[in-house]
Amino acid sequence: MALIVHKYGGTSMGSTERIRNVAKRVAKWARAGHQMVVVPSAMSGETNRLLGLAKELAPGKHTAAYRRELDMLASTGEQASSALLAIALQAEGMPSVSYAGWQVPIKTDSAYTKARIDSIDDKRVRADLNAGKVVIITGFQGVDPDGNVTTLGRGGSDTSAVAVAAALKADEALIYTDVDGVYTTDPRVVPEARRLQSLSFEEMLEMASLGSKVLQIRSVEFAGKYKVPMRVLSSFTPWDIDLAEEAKSGTLITFEEDEKMEKAVVSGIAFNRDEAKISVLGVPDRPGIAYQILGTVADANIEIDVIIQNVSKDGKTDFSFTVNHVDYARCIDLLKEKVLPELGAAVVEGDPRICKVSIVGIGMRSHVGVAAKMFRALSEEGINIQMISTSEIKTSVVIDEKYMELAVRALHRAFDLDQAPV
Regarding beta strands 304-309 and 251-254, do their DSSP bridges make them parallel or antiparallel, or are they unpaired?
Answer: unpaired
Please identify, using beta-carbon distances, which residue of 161 and 393 lies nearer to Mg ion: 161
Distance between terminal CA atoms of the chain?
37
From 35, 47, 79, 219, residue interacting with ligand ASP (rule: CB under 6 A) = 47
Please identify, using beta-carbon distances, which residue of 41 and 198 lies nearer to ligand ASP: 41
Nearest residue to 42 via CA among 160, 135, 148: 160
24 binds ligand ASP (CB under 6 A): no
179 binds ligand ADP (CB under 6 A): yes
11 binds ligand ADP (CB under 6 A): yes
Q: Provide the β-strand partners of residue 117.
A: 108
Please identify, using beta-carbon distances, which residue of 141 and 395 lies nearer to Mg ion: 141
41 binds ligand ASP (CB under 6 A): yes
Give the x-and-dash track for 36-75 against ligand ADP (CB under 6 A).
-----x----------------------------------
Which does residue 214 touch among ligand ASP, ligand ADP, Mg ion, none (CB within 5 to 8 A, set by kind)? ligand ADP
Q: Which region among 68-76, 148-156, 294-302, 360-368 touches Mg ion (by CB under 5 A)?
A: 148-156
213 binds ligand ADP (CB under 6 A): yes
Please identify, using beta-carbon distances, which residue of 157 and 396 lies nearer to Mg ion: 157
101 binds ligand ASP (CB under 6 A): no
155 binds ligand ASP (CB under 6 A): yes
Name the minimum Å distance from CB 344 to ligand ADP. 44
Please identify, using beta-carbon distances, which residue of 317 and 395 lies nearer to ligand ADP: 395
Please identify, using beta-carbon distances, which residue of 215 and 278 lies nearer to ligand ASP: 215
From 101, 155, 156, 211, residue interacting with Mg ion (rule: CB under 5 A) = 155
Please identify, using beta-carbon distances, which residue of 74 and 264 lies nearer to Mg ion: 74
From 92, 171, 172, 178, residue interacting with ligand ADP (rule: CB under 6 A) = 178
Which does residue 156 touch among ligand ASP, Mg ion, ligand ADP, none (CB within 5 to 8 A, set by kind)? ligand ASP
From 102, 140, 183, 201, residue interacting with ligand ASP (rule: CB under 6 A) = 140
Q: CB neighbours (10 Å) of residue 57?
A: 9
Give the x-and-dash track for 155-174 against ligand ADP (CB under 6 A).
x-------------------
Could you list the residues that contact ligand ADP (CB under 6 A)?
A: 9-12, 41, 155, 177-179, 182-183, 185-188, 212-214, 268
Could you list the residues that contact ligand ASP (CB under 6 A)?
A: 9-10, 41-42, 47, 77, 139-140, 154-158
